[in-house]
Amino acid sequence: MIEARGLSKRFLDKKRGEIRAVDNVSFTCQPGKIYGLLGANGAGKTTTLRMLATILEPTDGTAVVCGHDIVEQPEKVRANVGFLSTATALYRRLTAQEFVEYFGRLNGLDEATLKKRVDAIFIRLDMNGFRDRRCDKLSTGMQQKTSIARTLVHDPPVMIFDEPTGGLDVMTARTITAFIRECRNSGKTVIFSSHIMSEVEKLCDTIGIIQSGKLLVEGTLAQLRDKYAEHDLEEIFVKVVTPHFAAEEAN
Amino acid sequence: MSLRNVGIVYRKELTEAVRDRRTLISTILVPLLLFPVLSVGFGSLAVALVGKAKEETPKVMLRGGEDSPAVVEGLKKLDKIEIVPETPGWKDQIINKEIRAAVEIPAGFQADVAQQKSDTVKIFNYQGEMKSEFATDKIESYMKEYRDKVVKERLAAKNLAETVLKPFEVNRENVAPPEKVSGAAFGGIIGYMVILLCMTGAMYPAMDLTAGEKERGTMETILSSPISRMHLVLGKFFLILTAALGTAALSVLSMGVSFSVLGHYTSQSAGGRAAAAEFLLKLGPKTVISVFLMALPVAVLFSATLMTIALFAKTYKEAQSYLTPMTFLVIFPAIAAMLPGVELTPKLSLIPILNVSLLCKELVAGTYHWNYIAVIFASTCVYAAAALFIAIKMFQRESVLFRS
C-alpha cells in the first residue's frame, strides 16, 4: 500500500530559479494492483518515485508506504520497498551472487535465510549459469535479472519501477514486464513509471497522467476511455496534456 | 545492527578494492617499489658520480713561481693533482672546465718570505664545482702547511715557544646520542614520507568510492537499500582509511628494507647512506609505533577530507581535478617541517599536518615532548573529527549526491 499526500519537490536552479519538479501530488496504490505513472520526459515521474523510495526527501507533503512515513522512517520504508530503474546499476567488480548477497545483508537477513533466499531466486530467475561471473562480464539481459534478484532478495511488499524498460531490447524488456505482472499476482503493491503508451496500456490497473509535476488525471483505462471518448491511450494522453503544454509555452 | 551495517559496507568495498588494478597499484605497488627504486637508483648514481670525480686527477695551472723553486717543487709533489704550465686564456679554461683551478705565486715569493715581507698567493677556481673545489682544497691546505712551517721556524729562531701564537686550544665535542644527530637529518624525511603516502594511499579509493560510484550509476542502487547514509559513509570511510594507513605502513617497511639492504652492500663506499641504514635499523618498535599513532589522526583527516571533496564530483575525472591541488596543500607544510630551524612552538603545534611532521622529526630523534604530543594529537583529532562530521553531513545532502 502506498499513499501519497500532497507530495511536492522544489529545486533551486541557478538559471531558472525555483523549479516545481513535483507539485502537490496525491494518489493511492493498492496491493495486488499496478499503478502506472504516465508522463513525458521531465514531467516529474522519476522525482516522485525517488521520493517514494526515500532517495530524495519531499519539500512538502509526505507519503505512507506500508504504514511507514517516508519522511519520519525512511529506513523502514526502504526495507519494505524494492526499487528498480535504468539508473540503478550493478557493482561491476562483484559477482552476480555477491551483489545480491550484499543487498540481502544490508536488508538485515541472517546468513542462513540469505543463502536460502538467494538459492531460490537464482533458480527461479534461471541465473545459476552466471552466478559466479563478475557483473561487468554479464550481458544486458543477465544484468537485468541480477537487478531483479536484488529487488527481490528481501521479499518486499512494495515494488517501485522507474522506467524499468528504458533502453532495453525487446526480449530483455519482456523479462521485466513479465516480472512486474508476477509481482502483482503475488499480491505486491506495484507502481511504475513510463512514457511508453503500449506498456502502460497492457500492464496497469490504474493510470495517472503527470505533466509539469502535477497529477492531471487518474483512473482505470476504461474510465479514461469513457471520459475522453477515445480508445487509444496515446490520444487520451495528448488530450490531457496539450492544454498544459500550451499554458507552459505562454509562460 | 549499526556496526554490522558498517562492517557489511566495509567488506564489500574491500572486495571491490582488491579486485581493482588501479587501487592495487596506488596502495600496494607504488609504496613497495618507490623506495627500493629511489634509493638504489639515486644511491648508485651518487656513488658512481662521486667515485668518478675522485678518480680524475684535476689539472691546476701554475702562474709565476719561477723564482720560488721549493714551493713549486712541493706543489708538483702533491698527490692527485697535476700541475700544468701557464698558457694564455687560463680563466676561460677554468670556466670551460679544461683545467680545474689556477694558482698564482707572486714574483720573489720565497725571497719575500725569507725577508719577512707579506705576500698573497691567489687560487682561482670555479666556485661550487665539485672537482674545482677539490683541487682548490688541496692547494690551499698545502700553502697553509707551508705557512705554519715558516711560523714555526721564525719562532724557533727567536727562541719563542709555539704557545706564543696559540695560547689555548678551542675544541668542540658532540654529546648528543648518535641517533639524535642522524635523527635531525632523517627524521624530517620520515615524517614527510608517512604523511605524503597517507595522502596518496587515500586518494584513489576516495575518488572511486564516491565520484566513481556516481559515474557508474550505483549510487542510486545503494541509496535505495535500507542502510542509513551515516553507516554507508562510515563503511566507505574506513576503507579509505585502511588504504591510507596501509600505504604508509608498506612504504615505511620498504624504506627500512631497502636502506638496510643498500647499507649492507655499500657500507664501505658510501658512508652517508650506510649511516642512514644503520639509523633506520636502530629505530626501535617504540619509535615506529609512536610515529604511526601520530599518523593515525592525520590519516583520518585526509580520508574524510578527500572523500568529502570527491563526493562533489560527478565523474572520476572531475574528482581528480579537484584533488590534485590538494596534494600541494599537503606537501607544502610537510616540506616546511623539513627545513632546518623550523621547530615546534605552541602556535605551530596547532597547524594541521605541519605540527605532525615537526613532531615526527622529534619522535624519530628520540625526544618525547609530552605536552606537545598531547596538544598535537588532540588538535589533529579535533580536525579529523570535524572533517568526518562534514563528510557525513555532505552525504545527507541531495544537492551533493545528485548534483546535475
Q: What is the 3-state secondary structure (H, E, C) of B105-172?
A: ECCCHHHHHHCCCCCCCEEEECCCCHHHHHHHHHHHHHHHHHHHHHHHHHHHHCCCCHHHCCCCCCCC
> How far is residue A74 CA from its own chain's centroid?
17
At residue B283, the pLDDT reads 62
Cβ pair B387, B352 in contact under 8 A:
no
Using CA coordinates, name the residue in chain B closest to A9: B398
Task: Give A187's DSSP letter.
Answer: T
Distance of CA A230 to the CA centre of its chain: 27
Query: Which residues are within 8 A (CB) of B130 and not within 5 positions of it... i.e. 6 or more apart?
Result: B53
Given 3-state DSSP classes, what are the helix, strand and coil percentages for chain A, each rounded to the nearest 5? 45, 25, 30
Q: Give the CA distances from residue B358 to residues B229, B291, B336, in Å, rounded to whole numbers and listed in that order.
A: 37, 11, 9
Whole-angstrom Cα distance, residue B245 to residue B354? 18
- Which of A93, A114, A144, A162 would best serve as a mutation to test chain B binding (most B beta carbons within 10 A)? A93
Q: Angle at Cα A160 formed by Cα A147 and Cα A32, nearest 5°?
A: 110
Residue A165, pLDDT score: 87
For residues A83 and A15, the model is more confident at A83
Q: Which residues of B touch A90 (CB under 8 A)?
A: 218, 221
What does the pLDDT read at residue B366?
Answer: 74
pLDDT of A128 above 70? yes
pLDDT for the residue B270: 47
Q: What is the largest CA-CA distance in chain B?
A: 103
Q: In order of start, what are the domains of chain A with their CATH numbers?
A: 1-80+157-237 (3.40.50.300), 89-155 (no CATH)
Amino acid at B114: A
CB contact under 8 Å between B16 and A94, yes or no, is yes
pLDDT of residue B268: 47
B16 contacts in A (CB within 8 Å)? Answer: 91, 93-94
Mean pLDDT by 10 residues, chain B (404 residues): 86 93 85 76 72 75 87 85 86 87 89 86 88 88 90 87 83 72 61 82 92 92 92 95 89 74 56 53 68 85 93 92 88 81 84 86 79 90 92 89 78
> Which neighbouring-strand residues pair with A34?
A190
| Cα B218 from Cα A4, distance rounded (Å) | 26
Contact yes or no for B226 and A79 at CB 8 A: yes
Q: Which chain B residue has its CA at the smallest distance from A148's CA?
A: B221
* Lookup: cell for A118: 538467494
Domains of chain B: 2-39+177-401 (no CATH), 58-163 (3.40.1710.10)
**Residue A104 or residue B403, greater confidence:** A104
Q: What percent of chain A has pLDDT over 70?
A: 99
**If you average pLDDT over residues A224-228, what whole number do you get?**
92
- ipTM exceeding cut-off 0.85 for this assembly: yes
- The closest alpha carbon to A53, from A37, A65, A44, belongs to A65
Question: In this predicted structure, what is the pLDDT of residue B181?
Answer: 56
Q: What are phi and psi of A80, to 5 degrees?
A: -105, 5
Q: What is the pLDDT of residue B280?
A: 55
* Strand-pair partners of A27: A4
Parallel, antiparallel or unpaired: strands A189-194 and A158-162: parallel
Walk across the sheet containing B101-105 and list its strands.
Answer: B82-84, B59-64, B101-105, B122-125
Q: What angle do CA B374, B378, B380 make, to 5 degrees?
A: 120
Average predicted confidence (pLDDT) for chain A:
91
Q: Which residues of B touch A166 (CB under 8 A)?
A: none
Interface residues from chain B to A (CB-CB < 8 Å) = 1, 5, 8-9, 12, 15-16, 19-20, 216-218, 220-221, 223-228, 398, 402
C-alpha cell at A188: 505486491
Count how many residues are written for chain A: 251
| Interface contact flag, B16 A93, Cβ < 8 Å | yes
**How many other CB atoms are found less than 10 A from the CB of residue A89?**
18
A98 contacts B5? CB cut-off 8 A: no
Tally helices (H) and strands (E) across chain B: 17, 4
Contact A103 B225 (CB under 8 A): yes
- Closest-CA residue to A101 (of B8, B335, B278, B317): B8
**Which of A144-148, A181-185, A233-237, B264-268 bottoms out in mean pLDDT, i.e. has the lowest?**
B264-268
Identity at B140, one-letter amino acid code: E
Q: Are the C-beta atoms of residues B80 and B73 closer than 8 Å to each other?
A: no
| B201 neighbors B302 (Cβ within 8 angstroms) | no
- The helices-and-strands tally (H runs, E runs) of chain A is 9, 10
Beta bridge partners, A69, equal A64
Strand order in the sheet with A17-29: A17-29, A2-13, A60-65, A68-69
Q: Please report, for residues B63, B202, B205, B209, B228, the alpha-carbon distance to residue B245 in angstroms, rounded to integers and kept in the order given.
A: 63, 8, 12, 17, 26
